[in-house]
């Protein structure tokens, strides 16, 4: 079931609380862009238009010249021009698309010498989007072999109580977990309800980057009766000083130095192989806990974490539910098909990634190929204005899933989910838990 949220009235009311790039926090300028279809969706070859209004200090502006450029998302513009606000509004014709996908209208205006920008995407038959990425013939054999080797490494755990994240309702622990090989560790924060009983476990891998971890925004899981493990993937303590993470990220997390390019020439040596196997080790650990209910294992995450949640669900049949927000690492070679590629966008922010060897390796690590094998129920949520994990790639993943699935589509969202949606995800999990 697909639910589409496009209530612009609610959005205008709440936008001042948003920190997303499209709507800067406490900005004097507010854009309101309204597509001619309320759900922001059109059929291929159907023409789309948007109405633009601009407010400054809450006052509708008139007579201003708006610059626009229109093109497929994350692709060069195909049309550019200007319109003038008349009676506070202007209409822009976006044209259409002959193939399924999303078209992005990028807007700019100059006020007192300062430029303000905005954008809006609309979809054309996105329910028909299918992956550019093809499934390698030995995909299953490759991962079965990798899992068998990693399984031979014993589970070794160090667990330290963390009082600053604990309360009268939950206990929090910093866990160091030996993963896919000797001397290969990952860390994570484990939160456990204090009351007696057996509980479902939630595995939550992280978003992209090398950065400190803060489990506080998801403590409500443990407070609601779930054991939760927020894992980091690099083997770096999550409680180091922020400055230390900045140094590490500068050396190992940016552009061609990024861990996401490390070993990409060879599927056996790619960095993310260790990450995917570490996720399975996290499931090993969680299902060994005496507090686990013995039945329910949930993978949940957003962006890179959403990708890893889906991948873990495909690789490990102990996972019984999966909830993923705007998954990264999805149809990463999509740019070869002339459309938006999945994060990390190897075509846009890196050099030398379009080689036969690298493209081949991507297929073994792409979410769309894991999605083909998922059997557990999946919940996904994504927005249309997201340029980090574009809706083209989220739809491509969702359309590939053959398992029971549900989605919440929030067109106005960029690369974020609201606090309400975070709790809605838990509500969905609760509704699917086996007693």
Tell me how crowded residue 278 is: count the other CB atoms within 10 A of its CB.
28
Q: What local confidence, expressed as pLDDT, does residue 306 receive?
A: 98
Average pLDDT, the chain: 93
Q: Are residues 187 and 92 in the same domain?
A: no
Q: Which of 44, 68, 48, 53 is nearest to 122 (CA)?
A: 48
Q: Which of 330, 357, 353 is nearest to 255 (CA)?
A: 353
Question: Which CATH number does the domain housing residue 291 bear?
Answer: 3.40.50.1820
Position 394 pLDDT exceeds 90:
yes
Q: Are residues 361 and 231 in the same domain?
A: yes
Sign of CA dihedral 341, 346, 348, 352: negative
- Kind of pairing, strands 227-231 and 185-193? antiparallel
Q: Reply yes or no on whether 394 is catalytic.
A: no
Q: Are residues 313 and 414 in the same domain?
A: yes
Position 253 pLDDT exceeds 80:
no
Residue 181 lies in a domain: yes
Catalytic residue among 18, 303, 330, 394: 303
Q: Which of 257, 235, 116 is nearest to 176 (CA)?
A: 235
Q: Are residues 118 and 166 in the same domain?
A: no
For 12, 382, 415, 419, the CA distances from 17, given in Å and listed in that order, are 10, 19, 15, 11
Taking the C-alpha atoms of residue 327 and residue 341, their distance in angstroms, rounded to an integer, is 12
pTM: 0.93
Write down which residue in 101, 126, 151 finishes a domain. Answer: 126
Q: Which residues contact 256 (CB under 8 A, 6 or more apart)?
A: 350, 351, 352
Structure tokens at 351: 């050099």
| Average pLDDT value for residue range 382-393 | 98
Q: What local confidence, expressed as pLDDT, does residue 17 receive?
A: 36
Q: Are residues 174 and 223 in the same domain?
A: yes
Model confidence over 89-135: pLDDT tens digits? Answer: 999 999 999 999 999 999 999 999 999 999 999 999 999 999 999 99
Question: Which CATH number does the domain housing residue 98 bear?
Answer: 2.60.40.1930
Residue 2 lies in a domain: no
Q: Are residues 108 and 30 in the same domain?
A: yes
Residue 131 lies in a domain: no
Tell me which residue range forms the domain holding 65. Answer: 7-126
Residue 256: band (very low, low, confident or very high) from pLDDT cuts 50, 70, 90: confident
Residue 213 lies in a domain: yes
Q: Are residues 280 and 330 in the same domain?
A: yes
Rounding to the nearest 10 degrees, give the CA dihedral for residues 139, 140, 145, 149.
100
Q: Are residues 325 and 291 in the same domain?
A: yes
Q: Are residues 397 and 252 in the same domain?
A: yes
| Average pLDDT value for residue range 72-86 | 97
Q: Are residues 315 and 348 in the same domain?
A: yes
Q: What local confidence, expressed as pLDDT, does residue 181 receive?
A: 80
Write down which residue in 102, 126, 150 finishes a domain. Answer: 126
Q: What local confidence, expressed as pLDDT, does residue 1 receive?
A: 45
Q: What local confidence, expressed as pLDDT, does residue 211 receive?
A: 87
Catalytic residue among 218, 234, 326, 415: 415
Write down which residue in 79, 104, 126 finishes a domain. Answer: 126
Sign of CA dihedral 337, 339, 345, 350: positive
| 54 CB burial (10 A radius; 0-12, 13-18, 19+) | buried
Residue 29 lies in a domain: yes
Q: Reply yes or no on whether 415 is catalytic.
A: yes
Q: How many domains does the chain have?
A: 2
Q: Reply yes or no on whether 171 is catalytic.
A: no
Position 413 pLDDT exceeds 90:
yes
Residue 392 lies in a domain: yes
Residue 22: band (very low, low, confident or very high) from pLDDT cuts 50, 70, 90: confident
Residue 134 lies in a domain: no
Position 5 pLDDT exceeds 50:
no
Taking the C-alpha atoms of residue 340 and residue 73, their distance in angstroms, rounded to an integer, is 6
Catalytic residue among 234, 331, 386, 407: 386
Q: Are residues 410 and 282 in the same domain?
A: yes
Residue 145 lies in a domain: yes
Q: Are residues 240 and 110 in the same domain?
A: no
């Amino acid at each position: 079931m697909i639910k589409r949220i496009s209530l612009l009235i609610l959005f205008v009311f709440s936008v001042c609380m948003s920190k997303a790039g499209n709507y800067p926090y406490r900005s004097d300028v507010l854009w309101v862009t309204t597509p001619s279809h309320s759900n922001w969706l059109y059929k291929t070859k159907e023409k789309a238009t948007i109405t633009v209004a601009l407010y400054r200090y809450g006052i509708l502006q008139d007579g201003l010249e708006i610059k626009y450029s229109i093109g497929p998302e994350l692709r060069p513009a195909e049309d550019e021009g200007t319109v003038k606000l008349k009676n506070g509004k202007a209409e822009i014709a976006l044209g259409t698309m002959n193939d399924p996908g999303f078209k992005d209208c990028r807007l700019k205006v100059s006020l007192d010498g300062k430029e303000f920008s905005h954008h809006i995407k609309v979809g054309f038959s996105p329910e028909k989007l299918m992956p550019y990425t093809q499934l390698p013939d030995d995909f299953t054999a490759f991962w079965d072999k990798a899992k068998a080797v990693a399984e031979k490494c014993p589970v070794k755990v160090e667990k330290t109580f963390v009082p600053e994240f604990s309360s009268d309702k939950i206990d929090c622990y910093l866990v160091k977990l030996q993963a896919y090989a000797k001397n290969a560790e990952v860390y994570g924060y484990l939160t456990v309800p204090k009351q007696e009983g057996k509980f479902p476990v939630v595995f939550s891998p992280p978003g992209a980057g090398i950065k400190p971890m803060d489990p506080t925004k998801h403590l409500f899981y443990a407070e609601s009766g779930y054991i939760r493990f927020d894992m980091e993937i690099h083997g770096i303590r999550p409680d180091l000083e922020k400055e230390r993470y900045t140094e590490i990220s500068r050396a190992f997390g940016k552009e061609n130095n990024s861990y996401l390019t490390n070993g990409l020439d060879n599927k056996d040596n790619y960095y993310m192989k260790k990450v995917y196997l570490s996720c399975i080790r996290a499931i090993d650990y969680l299902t060994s806990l005496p507090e686990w209910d013995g039945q329910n294992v949930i993978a949940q995450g957003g962006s890179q974490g959403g990708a890893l949640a889906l991948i873990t669900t495909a690789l490990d049949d102990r996972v019984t539910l999966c909830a993923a927000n705007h998954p990264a690492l999805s149809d990463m070679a999509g740019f070869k098909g002339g459309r938006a590629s999945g994060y990390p966008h190897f075509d846009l922010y890196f050099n030398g990634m379009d080689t036969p060897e690298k493209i081949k390796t991507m297929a073994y690590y792409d979410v769309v190929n894991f999605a083909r094998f998922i059997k557990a129920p999946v919940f996904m949520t994504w927005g249309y204005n997201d340029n980090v994990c574009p809706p083209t790639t989220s739809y491509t993943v969702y359309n590939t899933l053959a398992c029971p699935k549900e989605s919440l589509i929030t067109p106005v969202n960029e690369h974020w989910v609201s606090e309400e949606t975070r709790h809605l995800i838990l509500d969905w999990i609760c509704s699917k838990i086996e007693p």
